[in-house]
Structure 1
């Protein structure tokens, strides 16, 4: 049996219920993992609210790290006793242990702690595909990154610095802006006190940025398009402020033949080999010190309601983990 956080109805943080569930044995292509730490992500909020509906009741959580406890037939990249971490469907990471598909579970190097592993996989592999697979960037390019002091944002700031990419971040307070700059952002704009679109134009000599990476959604979408240079790429990869409303596609032509995409990490990691390569690239960044995992908050698994309230209120910085 394993203590597990489930929801029986979509809604607010108080929907969480802690129950003991039978873990069972792994079948073909599966592993059983005993968790040491669990990562929280904003996609968890979307799923809990019902923005990404699930068949209920359902366990929650997309990311964790721990020790492989049992291995089903056909699994060759992991063995019992291995340290491992993952970001993966289906949800179920908010638990002491679980059985899950093995393809997206990745070896965790000894030089990376369980808490770091739990905090880095979904966010870090998101940054990996944003910088290397969606619109490949090179040294000297300029990126506008919203929510630069969040879990994904602080990793993106460091990733950009390590590759010579100029990152202009946005955040909601002066303290968060300073945190983003401390982690590698070239500039960080306070969207509550500055006209950030005008400031982006000033910082790029009126040209605009090569790429916008926007997980905020509705509140920043129009400004993001207005911050791009001609032929620039808009990457909308989240909806923290709500979904982007329908728009006339012709506006992209009027604003300079802009490009737009709405990727998800799950498309990228659906292929086993790609997933493992992305995890290896991320681990290399962490092991060399180019990217440090900032864990701003720690909660016990039993405090999942409190953790979600903090995450949803944007009271967190860096990554948040649940401890077992």
Structure 2
């Protein structure tokens, strides 16, 4: 047994429900690896878990779905012999369920771990793996974009937005993003976006249609939800597609309103997807495929700006800032 610091919740609610605790971590079981965390990613999924929008199997629960660290021990009969080619001291990263990454160390199934390439920092790996797998899912399985397509991304300066901009530009896609400030517009422009629309100053629907000569985009990705999603649908060309991948606009209110598809009127000739990256990653082959593609792109120079790093003990503050739109790019917790 080892004593570890964790950040957990006993009931849904505001960020204050996140509390530090010292817990006993059992030795890893067969097929498991104990990972000593070095960097922990903070994602909107953590907020959705906290407020109850995404249900956790039981409470109290430790949050967190993404982290990087060092292999510290192996479990079961394979202890000391390596698992899946891993060795003690290897730098590794993982993403996905079950939650539990807000901890100084945890036991993880060996087949969920991937070595971090040389030249890629633990912080960058922990800030990008989940977003990279999401980008892979969206571009290869959902939208199936091709060179020459036009894609709109809401919140282009955020962590996922930065990942999608660079990934799409690498595929030869014309990337259009929405941002909330001139600083974020400059950031988006440096991350693969050919156009970044200041949505607070300009009607982004009219601007997208202007930029596409009235045609609309081939694929739109919306992680905001609510009224923004309804407007996003208006930017998609006939028989194009929109993907709803989150509801940041309702994270504080827990209001996840149903979109009235029967009332979409002239926009009914488009496809609307609601893909779940966690469902995508539940297939181990897809998970490892998307993770390998992400790490290869990171090794080749793709990067997400990390705008906030805080100690693990300040996880609640990290979530508050992410939830209130006070960050751009990745948010990382550092174990003490």
TM-score category of the 2 structures, normalised to the smaller one: over 0.9
Match of 1:268 in 2: 280
Native 8 Å contact 1:146 1:171 kept in 2: yes
- Cα RMSD between the aligned structures? 1.6
Match of 1:100 in 2: 108
Match of 1:320 in 2: 331
2:38 to 36, 39, 42: 36
> How does the TM-score come out when normalised to structure 1?
0.95
What is the rounded CA distance, in whole Å, between the counterparts of 2:213 and 2:273 in structure 1?
26
Q: Deviations over 1:165-217 (max 9, x none)?
A: 11110111121122111211111111111110000000000000000101101
Count of equivalent residues: 323
1:45 to 44, 47, 64: 47
Match of 1:69 in 2: 72
Native 8 Å contact 1:31 1:72 kept in 2: yes
- Give the superposition deviation at 1:77: 4.4
Match of 1:288 in 2: 300
- Give the superposition deviation at 1:254: 3.6
- Structure 2: which 5+ residue stretches go unaligned? none
What is the rounded CA distance, in whole Å, between the counterparts of 1:84 and 1:148 in structure 2?
28
What is the rounded CA distance, in whole Å, between the counterparts of 1:282 and 1:7 in structure 2?
31
Match of 2:310 in 1: 299
What is the rounded CA distance, in whole Å, between the counterparts of 2:115 and 2:283 in structure 1?
16
Residues 50-129 of structure 1: pairs in structure 2 closer than 5 A: 50-54=52-56, 55-73=58-76, 75-129=83-137
Match of 1:160 in 2: 168
Native 8 Å contact 2:135 2:164 kept in 1: yes
Q: Deviations over 1:237-261 (max 9, x none)?
A: 1010126532343456742521111
What is the rounded CA distance, in whole Å, between the counterparts of 1:19 and 1:300 in structure 2?
14
> How does the TM-score come out when normalised to structure 2?
0.92
DSSP 3-state at the match of 1:44: helix
Residues 192-271 of structure 1: pairs in structure 2 closer than 5 A: 192-242=200-250, 245-251=257-263, 254-255=266-267, 257-271=269-283
What is the rounded CA distance, in whole Å, between the counterparts of 2:154 and 2:130 in structure 1?
17
Native 8 Å contact 2:129 2:295 kept in 1: no
